[in-house]
Amino acid sequence: MLEDWAWRAEYIERISKHHLIGEQMSDDMAERIAASRHFLQALRNLRQLSFAIFDMEVHSPKSRAALENMDFTRRYNELRNQLTGMKGPEAIGEPIFNGRTHGHGNLQHLLYEHDAGLYSCHWSNTNFYDMFYYAFAKDPTDKSQGHRFRHTVLEKGASQDEMLILEQFLGRKPTTGPVIEDGTSSEEGPAIEGITLLEGSPSAAAHPIADGGSSAEAGRIIQGNPSAEG
């Protein structure tokens, strides 16, 4: 999450120089580089979605027999074609399910303890956008927000439920708005209504989960959130 600042034009310009003459990057070039961040983003998202669905399917067969009879190559290519429109061997005149296009063999996440959890990459990215635009979009170097992130999120580690920590930081339940709107909004990012939880803020004392999640209300919020299980 804390790398997002590097995609801001002002910082790209500040840290970049020509490798021969030392001239600083122009405003126009920095803006264009920043804008390129979302080039083909929709296609990348659909590709990741096909991976996540494939991951769920191979880890949740109805029976052992269903797993043994599953045509992994066929299903992988089906999902890629259906979700992204990207063609495989059929683009050069070969059958789409020729048994030789084993793209899933390069999907390393299937073997790295992600069992049926590849979707969490997208889910984490969604939460990152929510956190970043809530606290850091206006000024990624804001020390007060940085300290609050450190104490509210990093210091807790695995000592609390992740969704509780997220809600403590945001002062509300997470939303998908920022990740959907990113790329079409202003540089400050989507307008997100939130509750200020900075130390000394009047709303911090009034919020049910500002005290570290010990209240009954905090437990009710988490228990009623379906995403907390994931």
Kindly give the confidence (pLDDT) of every residue in the chain, 230 residues in length, as a single tens digit, with 9 standing for 90 and above.
Answer: 677 888 889 889 988 888 899 898 999 999 999 989 888 888 888 888 898 899 888 888 889 999 889 888 888 888 888 898 887 766 777 665 555 567 777 777 776 767 778 888 888 888 988 999 899 988 888 999 999 999 999 999 889 999 999 999 999 999 888 887 774 443 444 444 433 333 333 333 333 333 334 333 333 333 333 333 33
pLDDT at residue 110 in the model: 72
- What is the C-alpha separation between 169 and 210, in angstroms, rounded? 8
Residue 20 CA from chain centroid, whole number: 37
pLDDT at residue 196 in the model: 34
- Cβ-contact 225, 217 below 8 angstroms: no
Instruction: Output the six-digit token pair for 65.
Output: 């027999």
pLDDT at residue 223 in the model: 37
pLDDT at residue 40 in the model: 87
